[in-house]
Amino acid sequence: MLSTVRCFQLGMLISLLTACAGGGSLTVSNPTPVARTSAAPPLSAGSITEYGSLPPLSSPERITLGPDGAMWFTENAIDQVGRLDPITSRMTQFYAMPGCAPVGIATGPDGNIWYTCQGTNQITRMATNGLGTNFSVPTANSNLSSITKGPDQALWFTESDANNIGRISTSGSITEFHIPTMNAQPESITTGPDGNLWFTEYASSKIGRITPAGSITEFPTTLPLEGPWGITSDASTGTLWFTELDSDHIETMTTAGTVIATYAIPPSGGNPHHITFNEADGDLWFTQTGSSGPDAIGRITPMGAITEFSIPTANSAPSGIANAPNGIWFTEKSGNAIGKIVP
């Protein structure tokens, strides 16, 4: 089932008073974003800039580089999707379907923005002009999370409570594949260097591989109860990298499912969330909500050397992270901001 709705208003005041009947998208521009910058020079390596002009309590969740060169992100608590122009710092807000609670977001092979609606159990396809189309997922209450562009010109997503991996074509046709391990709780998903999809299983402490045809194989992490969370692929080495939320580790794995190495997060930090590969420096970058130290952005080299960069805003709860030509971008769920770090 799908629905398409579009509406526009002219300003932030009207946006707070008006809701689009039936959902769809409402565009709101804020021409005066506020940047909060760390003490280091703005363009020096490791310098963090925070853009704090989001609507109050928006809880930005995940972020991706859009087809237009802008950064697009989900705002889980207010049913909106945001766009940040990296050149002008201009923010634009788009309404999602009421009750959507958007989480995962990705740029599709069709040049549209795709995101998961955790609250309404839908996948939304949205053009960069704000026109959205919603597709209902067959399994009810599936608890949709991450979404990524696949190697087969489709989008793939995780259903944490339904224990499924989903595939949606750019026309909206959905297929679901059940994970063999019960209650695995799939979280993040990425396209691997081998042309398959790879995903984390938070509850079962496994990494899953699914072929474009739907065949699933699961591989154990080093230890039980590690809570694998974010995952990305390193195209330069043909490996997978993933974070372990509960054990404060990062592991790397071959496409044959063999763990190569396990690296401990320094005692000053912990709770690594999402992770991305940066082609420019060949390193992996990740968000971490410090369990015993400040919230930070971490960098890990292919050899396992870890550097942490503290986020200026305390208790910002960084979550999603994405690579772009002009820096590494991330969301701050509690800081209510979008951040950028210069590699």
Query: Which are the catalytic amino acids?
Result: 273
Q: Cα Rg for the chain, rounded, in angstroms?
A: 19
Compute φ and ψ for 17, nearest 5 degrees: -100, -15
Residues 6+ positions from 88 with CB-CB distance below 8 Å: none
Please provide the size of the chain in residues: 343
Compute φ and ψ for 14, nearest 5 degrees: -65, -35
How many of the other CB atoms lie within 10 Å of CB of 48? 24
Run of H or E residues at 149: strand 144-149
Q: In Å, how far from its chain's centre is CA 44?
A: 25
List the alpha helices (DSSP H) in the chain.
12-17
Q: What type of residue is 329?
A: W
Residue with tokens 């420019």: 280
Closest CA to 332 of 288, 291, 300: 288
What are the DSSP calls for 194-255, one per residue?
A: TSSEEEEETTTTEEEEE-TT--EEEEE-SSTT--EEEEEEETTTTEEEEEETTTTEEEEE-T
Order of strands, sheet of 80-84, starting from the edge strand that comes earlier in the sequence: 28-30, 91-95, 80-84, 71-75, 60-65
Lookup: tokens for 27? 């565009």
Could you tell me if 134 and 7 are in contact, meaning their C-beta atoms sit under 8 angstroms apart?
A: no
